[in-house]
Homo-oligomer: A and B are copies of this chain.
Amino acid sequence: MILDAMKNVRDVMVVLYLMLIWKTVEGFKGYGWKASTGNEGAAYCLSWRLAVEANNVRAWRTVPTQCLRHVETYMVGGQYERDLELIMGQVSSFADEIVLSDDGLDAWIFDIDDTCISNLEYYKRKRYGCDPYDPMGFRAWALVAGCPAIPPVLGMFNKLVYQGFKVFLLTGRDEDTLGYSTIYNLHSQGFVGYERVILRRAENKGQCASDYKSGVRKKLVEEGYRLWGNVGDQWSDLQGDFSGNRTFKLPNPMYFVP
């Protein structure tokens, strides 16, 4: 009788112990919140890319290797262009609401690389950003002046110039080494009618993009310009001081500029 009771107690203990283990295992499945969805790799790359675009993942040096195909599909499969077109639609709506003054000081800022003109062909050879940044390789590419225009951005650029905005093209590219080829590249791709192309000068060497571009924008504001819009593919184009009344972040899952 006593032995039977002890055996029952032992059985109950074993069951409780197994339940405890089971509970612990369950708890590890994604915080015990949601079962796995199956396609883990694609889901991770979607999360990673969204986090990059929302500025949650910062200072990343390369695209995670497991996301090479995801980024390739995004960039060449049509979605990148669609994303750009939707954003340009927003730029257009915003611009249409602005009543321009007749002092010629209503301004707009565009970044150049992967905003006006595309480095996609170059980055294809760098595994869409899975390879680390190669400053010499990029300079050689930029010197060729063969970056194609990004059509929806060129369309918007032309519209803003036509509407009477003074458009500034502001780039971190070095003026001494890349000034001529950059301007030649822009002109050959149809970027004409802008107010100024502003490149990085000797005094800006070593500045991070955000500080350098903030400094340039500050000078433009001191010249009297009203910076209505600011369009770039990097958060460092859009953050810092005098960032513009409204900023537009173009997608770029291939590289990060601090």
Contacts and interface: CB of A to CB of B under 8 A. Distances in A.
Interface string A46-58: 1110110111111
A162 interface: no
A138 B33 CA distance: 25
Given A51-B87, A86-B51, A90-B56, A79 B46 contact: yes
Interface in A77-101: 77-79, 81-83, 85-87, 90
A249 B54 contact: yes
Contacts of A85: 30-31, 47
A228 to B, nearest CB: 14
Contacts of A246: 58
A81 B36 CA distance: 11
A244 interface: no
Of A47, A48, A55, most buried by chain B (CB within 10 Å of CB) is A47
A32 interface: yes
A46 B104 CA distance: 38
Nearest to A149: B33
Interface string A206-227: 0000000000000000000000
A254 to B, nearest CB: 15
Given A55-B249, A151-B32, A37 B87 contact: no
A86 B56 CA distance: 9
Nearest to A87: B56
A77 to B, nearest CB: 7
A35 B32 CA distance: 43
A92 to B, nearest CB: 12
A189 interface: no
Contacts of A108: none
A32 to B, nearest CB: 7
A139 B58 CA distance: 37
Contacts of A37: 77-79, 82
A55 B243 CA distance: 14
13 contacts: A31-B152, A35-B78, A36-B78, A37-B77, A46-B82, A47-B82, A51-B86, A54-B249, A54-B251, A56-B248, A57-B86, A57-B90, A58-B90
Given A30-B81, A34-B78, 15 more contacts: A30-B85, A31-B155, A32-B151, A34-B81, A37-B77, A37-B79, A43-B82, A44-B82, A46-B79, A46-B83, A51-B86, A54-B54, A55-B249, A56-B86, A57-B90
